[in-house]
Amino acid sequence: MAAAVEVRGLTKSYGNVHAVRGIDLTVEPGSVTAVLGPNGAGKTTTMEILEGFRDRDAGEVRVLGLDPGSNGKELRERLGIVLQETAAEAYLTPREVLAMHARYYPHPRDVDEVIALVGLTEKARARVKTLSGGQKRRLDVGLGIIGDPELLFLDEPTTGFDPTARRSAWEVIRGLTGGGTTIVLTTHYIDEAQALADNVVVIAAGRVVAEGPPAVITAAQHSLATVTFLLPEGVTVGDLPVQGTVSSSGLVEITLAPADEVPVVHRLTGWALERGVPLQDLRVSRAGLEDAYLALVAETGDAVDVPA
């Protein structure tokens, strides 16, 4: 099947600011792609070009097989777009807003079904202006899917949500992919990318610096293991059988290559048993997607604002 989104060599500058510097991107149909990157990395610019809201300087772009630069109107009927700003009319109810927007599309979804899907049944007849921030965001998602889009763009869909609301938004998103919708979302939450995405694209300084399933990106960073425990009373860091650092709160930290994890923990626990000292709060942790992301972004630096 053809890709839902295919981008090759995309560039875009605003005057001297090279916001997008040669991005390649492929989104498979039915997948969830999360676009991560620091502020100013070029995520919104890229999304707006894909959505047909912004012209590009160069590069090939196909969205659902069409060029958004020249087929914007035709394309928009097949897309759902949830921007960061709430678009709903304040004095109408969610039901009225959704019914009104449904009329813009040739094959809209059922209004009540969408209200239930985004968890707004109880607020269906309240005025939009009385909804909480999280409830308004749910309505935004409802507006994004009312046209039954083949491809849904979500710009930071859960920013400002409480943890429970985030989990239920994730369920909504999972439900949509279960129904075959392709989703491209931007987020600053690494756990959101990890929880939802089949594919993560990390953009930094206008370029893709990593792409792949979350686990592959993490593994590619050769993540180190960290062993931590509280320094036992009467013991100095120099007494330990392995080298580590100790913080002012007495937490010992030992950083290891993954292959050294088992022998070092063995040596440490053997030593503690022999001496009869506790290793309180002993933990072995492996760097996750967040550490991999931070390492990738740090390697790239913030080099966007350079003269043309």
Positions in 63-82 near ligand ATP (CB under 6 A): none
- Kindly provide the b/e burial profile for residues 227-251, where b requires at least 16 CB atoms within 10 angstroms of the residue's own CB: bbbebbeeeeeeebeeebebeeeeb
185 binds ligand ATP (CB under 6 A): no
For residues 152 and 183, give the distance between their C-alpha atoms in angstroms, rounded to a whole number. 5
Q: How many CB atoms neighbour CB 256 within 10 A?
A: 19
Binder among 3, 8, 11, 17 for ligand ATP (CB under 6 A): 17
Would residue 103 be called left, alpha or beta, if left means φ above 0 and alpha means ψ between -120 and 50 degrees? alpha
Of 42, 51, 46, 44, whose CA–CA distance to 80 is shortest?
51
144 binds ligand ATP (CB under 6 A): no
37 binds ligand ATP (CB under 6 A): yes
CB-nearer residue toward ligand ATP: 44 or 182: 44
**What residues does 8 pair with on adjacent strands?**
60
How many chain residues interact with ligand ATP (CB under 6 A)? Answer: 12
Strand 199-204 and strand 58-63: the pairing is: unpaired
300 binds ligand ATP (CB under 6 A): no
41 binds ligand ATP (CB under 6 A): yes
45 binds ligand ATP (CB under 6 A): yes
42 binds ligand ATP (CB under 6 A): yes
Positions in 230-289 near ligand ATP (CB under 6 A): none
Q: How many CB atoms neighbour CB 102 within 10 A?
A: 18
39 binds ligand ATP (CB under 6 A): yes
Strand 283-286 and strand 79-82: the pairing is: unpaired
CB-nearer residue toward ligand ATP: 8 or 54: 54
CB-nearer residue toward ligand ATP: 217 or 268: 217
Site residues (vs ligand ATP, CB under 6 A): 14, 17, 19, 37, 39-45, 304
